[in-house]
Amino acid sequence: MTYRTIRQRFLLSAGSTVIMSLLLAAAANSQASTTDYGSSPRAASSANAAPGSNRDTDVQMHFWEQLTLEPKDAWSQLRDSFQWREQSLSAKAQARVDEWIDYYLESPENIAAITRRATPWLAWITQKVTERRLPGELALIPFVESSFDPVARSHRGAAGLWQFMPRTGDALGLVRNGHYDGRLDVITSTKAALDYLEMQADQWYEGDLELSLAAYNAGAGTVNKAKRRAERQGLKGEYWDLSLPQETMQYLPKLLAIATIIDTPERYGVSLPDIHSEPAFAKVKLDHSVTLAEASRLLEVDRSALAELNPGLLNGTLNAPSAQTLLVPEDVDQQVLAELSNGGNDRRTVADGSAPATYRVESGDSLSVIASRYDLSAQELMRLNAIERPEALQAGQLLTLSER
C-alpha cells in the first residue's frame, strides 16, 4: 500500500472522529473555564447566572468566538501542512539536524535572501504539495536544492528550482530546446519533481518518502544498494540507517532543519518576509507564440517581471508547442488576459471589418495560406516583409499585412 493510499484511508476514517473530538473538547473547555477568557462583564455575569438564565447561549457564543479564523499567509499554510515535525528521531539523527539548524542560524541573512526568492513560488508549491496530501516539508526542497533560484545551474549540469539533470528531465518529459527549458519552468518542473518523488517511493520503498528523497539526490541504485547493506547488518534500512554519499547524508537533515526554523521562526530570531496565501501569478494558456516584450506592452507589466515568472523561456519568446503557458502577475486585468489569450492586438479584426495590420505566424503556416487568408498574393506578402525565401518563414514571426 502506497504512502498516499495509507494516508488517504487514515484521513477518511479518522477525520470525522478527530474533528468531533476537537469540537467536544473545545466546548468542554469553554464551559469549564469561562473565566480564562471571560474577564469581560458578560462572561462574569454568565458564570454567576441564576438557573433559567441564558447561560447556555452565552457559552455557545464564547465557544464560536474562539473559533474565529485568522487570515493565513503562505507560511501559516506551509506550517499547517508539515507532517514530520512530531516524528521521534534518535539522538544521533537529531544531532545531525541540529548541526544544520546551527549552520543556518550562523547566517540569518542567507535565510532572509532565500525566503525572499521564494516569494513568487511558495504559496503555489505548498498548494500543489498539499493537494497530493504529501508532507509540507517537501515544499522546501527548492530551499535545499537551488536556494529557490529558478535559474540556478550546477557545475554538473543540473538546472532549475528542483535541480534536474538533463537526462532525468528528459525521462520525465521536460522539454529542452533552443527556445525553452522545462527544468527552469517552475510549473512543469514542480509537477515532475512531485511525480518523481511519489513514483520512486511507490516503486522502491513501500511509500517511504525519506528514502525517495535520498534517491532523488543520489539515484535509486545508490540508495537501494545502501539499504540492502544496512538490512544485512540487522538494521531496518530506513534513511537514518544508511551509509550514503556525503551530500545525500546531509540532504534530509538540511530539509528538516530549515523546516524546524520556519515552523517556529520567533524561537530562532528569524524574520520571514510577508507572502500572501494565494499564488502570486496567474496562468494564461496560449496556442500561439508571443514575445515577453509584446506581452509586456499589452499587459502593461514590466518585461523583467514577466521574465522572472517565466525563466524557462530562454530567448524571451513563448513558442508553441514547446510551451503553452505564460505566467503573469496575479493582479493583471482579466479582460487584458483574455485579449492576450486570444492573440493580442496583432490578430484582431479592426472595427470596420477590414483586415488587421499584422499577423503572427503559427506553426504549420505558409506564405501562400496567410496571403490567401488576407486577400494578398504571396509575392506581395514577401515584398511587404522583405522576405527573400518563402521557406524562411518562422513560427512567431510578425508579418506586416498592408502598407499603412
Cβ contact 375:359 at 8 Å: no
Using CA atoms, how far apart are residues 136 and 251, in angstroms rounded to an integer? 16
Count the Cβ atoms, other than its own, within 10 Å of residue 37. Answer: 13
Count the Cβ atoms, other than its own, within 10 Å of residue 161. Answer: 28
Angular region, 376: left φ>0, alpha ψ -120 to 50, beta rest: beta
Using CA atoms, how far apart are residues 305 and 39, in angstroms rounded to an integer? 51
Q: Residues for the chain: how many in total?
A: 404
Contacts of 367 (CB under 8 A, 6+ apart): 378, 381, 382, 387, 390, 393
Residue 239 CB-density burial (10 A; 0-12 exposed, 13-18 middle, 19+ buried): buried
Contacts of 126 (CB under 8 A, 6+ apart): 74, 77, 78, 81, 136, 139
Count the Cβ atoms, other than its own, within 10 Å of residue 54. Answer: 10
Of 101, 378, 51, 93, the C-alpha closest to 265 is 101
Cell numbers representing residue 307 in the block: 521574465
Cell numbers representing residue 100 in the block: 544544520
Cβ contact 325:285 at 8 Å: yes
Task: Enter the DSSP assignment of 291.
Answer: E
Which amino acids are annotated catalytic? 145
Using CA atoms, how far apart are residues 111 and 123, in angstroms rounded to an integer? 17
Cβ contact 213:254 at 8 Å: no
Whether the link from the prior residue into 71 is cis, omega within 30° of 0, is no
